[in-house]
Amino acid sequence: MNIQTTGSRCLGWSTWRVEKTTLCDCLHASLFSSHLTPALMPPGLKDKKAKIIYVMRNPKDIITSYYHFSSVYSEVDTPTSFEQLLEQYLMGNVVGSSWFDHIREWHSKKDQYNILFLTYEDMILDLKAAVTRICSFLGKNLSEAAIDQVVEKATFKTMKKDQKANYEFVPKERLSGNFMRKGQIGDWKNVFTVAQSQRVDQLIQEKLGDLSLKFIWE
């Protein structure tokens, strides 16, 4: 079985600019990734023939990751401080808009799609279990050996060395640091103050409390 790790064959519906990619290319792709909300996705997805895998990460680690990313990627504004980035992020004034709105939109409309929800933390803590869930969702009956091969290819350590995934092909004038940095749960503790952490907790309760979501913080 030949397994390849890919960043994305096509990002046609994504919020990111991709060189030499056309809508026509994407319509013929079997796989594409996106940061978009349901309202901006192809309406045909509601026929449930296509399958969606939605990956969510705890917001404190996302904010931390975005802070480091925006400091090395030339096409997004470089924050003057973590405090400034946090304010912008919580107001939704960043690429991809509001994390809170994105989570609510997809969870509230989940019955309209054939969708599997996973978390980044699920994959870090038990990647094999996550791969097995994905196989089941996709209707793929892989052998143990094949699953183990997928798991090995999909570890953070392996992907960080894989030029298809680590974005080292991006010119240094656009990306001056590592696209894949730590891949850990709980790195937010190295940058958040107690007050900032509590503020995020409060916003999650206010904006998403009725969804009964569970987050893994460390």
Tokens found for residue 194: 């107690």
Average pLDDT score over residue span 147-156: 90
Are 57 and 121 spatial neighbours (Cβ–Cβ below 8 Å)? yes
As a whole number of angstroms, the distance between CA 103 and CA 213 comes to 10
Percent of the chain with pLDDT over 90: 52
Give kind and range of the element (H or E) at residue 59.
Answer: helix 59-70
Give kind and range of the element (H or E) at residue 55.
Answer: strand 52-56
Residue 113 above 80 pLDDT? yes
Lowest mean pLDDT among 19-23, 77-81, 91-95, 185-189: 19-23
Are 38 and 57 spatial neighbours (Cβ–Cβ below 8 Å)? no
Q: Which residues contact 203 (CB under 8 A, 6 or more apart)?
A: 90, 100
Residue 65 above 90 pLDDT? no
Average pLDDT score, the chain: 82
Domains identified in the chain, total number: 1
DSSP letter assigned to residue 170: S
Lowest mean pLDDT among 1-5, 19-23, 72-76, 102-106: 1-5
Residue 163 above 70 pLDDT? yes
Average pLDDT score over residue span 106-124: 94
For residue 73, the model assigns a pLDDT of 63
Percent of the chain with pLDDT over 70: 78
For residue 51, the model assigns a pLDDT of 94
Residues acting as catalytic residues? 35
What tens digit of pLDDT does each residue of 125-147 get?
999 999 999 999 999 999 999 99
Tokens found for residue 153: 């290819």
Residue-number span of the structural domain to which 146 is assigned: 23-211
Q: Strand 52-56 vs strand 115-119: parallel, antiparallel, or unpaired?
A: parallel
Instruction: Judge whether 6 lies within some domain.
Output: no
Average pLDDT score over residue span 61-73: 81
Instruction: Judge whether 200 lies within some domain.
Output: yes
pLDDT band (50, 70, 90) for residue 155: confident
Residue 17 above 60 pLDDT? no
What CATH number corresponds to the domain at position 63?
3.40.50.300
Instruction: Judge whether 13 lies within some domain.
Output: no
pLDDT band (50, 70, 90) for residue 177: low
Q: Give the alpha-carbon dihedral of 130, 131, 135, 140, to 10 degrees.
A: -170
Average pLDDT score over residue span 177-193: 84
